[in-house]
Amino acid sequence: MPNFALSDQVFADAAARFPTPFHLYDEAGIRERARRLKAAFAWCPDFREYFAVKALPNPAILRVLGEEGCGLDCSSATELMLAERCGFRDEGIMFSANAMPPSEFDLARSLGAYINLDDLSDIDLLAAHGGIPACVCLRYNPGGDFSIGNTIMGNPGEAKYGMPADQLLRGLLRLKELGAERFGLHAFLSSNTMAASYYPELAGILLRLGRDLAEKTGLGFAFINLSGGIGIPYEPGQAEVDIQAVGKAIREIYARECPRGDVAIKSELGRWMTGPCGWLVTRAVHEKKIHRDYIGVDACAVDLMRPAMYGAYHHITVCGKADQPLDHVYDVTGCLCENNDKFAIQRALPEIRVGDLLVIHDTGAHGYAMGYNYNGRLRSAEILRTADGDFRMIRRAETPEDYFATLRF
């Protein structure tokens, strides 16, 4: 099920204080998920989550996750700068980029971050830009389809990321020449997956591969990085991934593949950490009846792009109408001059009147962050519902001045 942890009254109270549209994030919920993840891996001597900054790049959220013991997974200079401004450095940062400007290696190295290399050519680039650290992580791409049992979970053969096993071996030998002593292995093979077996399967693959590479190179095998990819239930009727069971299944594989217990585990979850703890709060501003019934709202795809980009489902509720029958069928739209700017298509909802408050669920990851300025539309504010139940604006809405700031007349 989508996350119904906050009552309609909370959204109504927030909308009484701040103009719509805005994303509302639940600090208590985010802390609870961080603790649940940590508990699931409490058996692992050196487990750490590196929150994928791209999912929700707001300092207030990053600090909350830092307080819960998480590090940050960054993939650009700006994300590294954001991490630094929030007090993260050294082993608190993982830098996983691809096809990036070499200066980003200099910055990541100056912060002491773990470096996750995407390609063989990155090795000499890193040597020239910041130098080779004692411990380097490499990104693995097995190619082909990635299946668990009979189910295809992903298609690494078409993915631009990572290196095949033979290149990992060549890369590690080169890194050893350049002074590296230990290595980590990273892979991201399936996105938004609801299969509880994904992380355990991946852990087994990386542990076996790493052991083999350590034997062949004489380098120490420091950690596996399971990256992101665990999904959340966007749709009613979908069950949540049982993270405790995921941790338990990995524990069994770990005991078998790594009896010495000397390889750490890292994760870089984005969606699972914050996705269910965000809601886009928007007001119905227009009603139109032509070949279909349309409800226009004051948010649009610049605030939440996933439905337009992927046809993604986001659950929608209407504040104060939880008990009313879903006896109307609407397309819920934004104002962009793009017909894919629809938060819902032919969705059964209660009768909606102009002025009603709509809550679009599960926008806490890859929501605001994917925004853009098409049609000169300006992105919304972000509001944090603090653990004590208060509201705090953690990003103001954009103004025309922001839009004009980069233009030269």
What is the contact surface with ligand PLP in residues (CB under 6 A)?
52, 54-55, 73, 96, 188, 191-192, 227-229, 268-272, 365
Minimum distance, C-beta of residue 191 to ligand PLP, in the bound complex (Å): 5
Helix (H, G, I), strand (E, B) or coil at 163: strand
Q: How far is CA 26 from the centre of its chain?
A: 16
Q: Is residue 174 exposed (0-12), middle (13-18) or buried (19+ Cβ within 10 Å)?
A: middle
Min dist. Cβ of residue 30 to ligand PLP (A): 14
In this complex, which beta carbon is closest to ligand PLP, that of residue 272 or of residue 279?
272
Give the nearer residue to ligand PLP in terms of CB position, either 157 or 325: 157
Closest CA to 117 of 172, 50, 80: 172
Scanning 148-234, the segments in alpha helix (DSSP H) are 165-177, 198-217
Evaluate whether 49 touches 38 at the Cβ level (below 8 Å). yes
- Give the residue with the Cβ less far from ligand PLP, 79 or 303: 79
Helix (H) or strand (E) holding 274: helix 271-274
Residue type for position 11? F
3-state secondary structure (DSSP) of residue 278: strand
Q: How far apart are CA 191 and CA 229, in angstroms?
A: 4
Instruction: Determine the longest span between alpha carbons in the chain, in angstroms.
Output: 70
- The pair of three-digit structure tokens given for residue 46, joined into one six-digit string: 């050196």
Q: Give min distance, CB of 218 to ligand PLP, in A.
A: 28
Nearer to ligand PLP, 96 or 317 (CB): 96
Residue type, 213: L
Tell the smallest beta-carbon distance from residue 290 to ligand PLP (Å).
Answer: 37
Work out how close the CB of 352 gets to ligand PLP at its nearest, in angstroms, rounded to a whole number.
31
Residue type, 228: G
Residue number closest to ligand PLP, CB atom = 228
Closest approach of ligand PLP to the CB of residue 355, in Å: 35
Query: Cα 70 to chain center, whole Å?
Result: 14
Of the pair 278, 334, the CB lying nearest ligand PLP is at 278
Closest contact distance (angstroms) between CB of 175 and ligand PLP is 20
Report the residue number, 53 or 263, with the smaller CB distance to ligand PLP.
53
CB atoms within 10 A of CB 87: 11
Cβ proximity to ligand PLP, 167 vs 375, nearer residue: 167
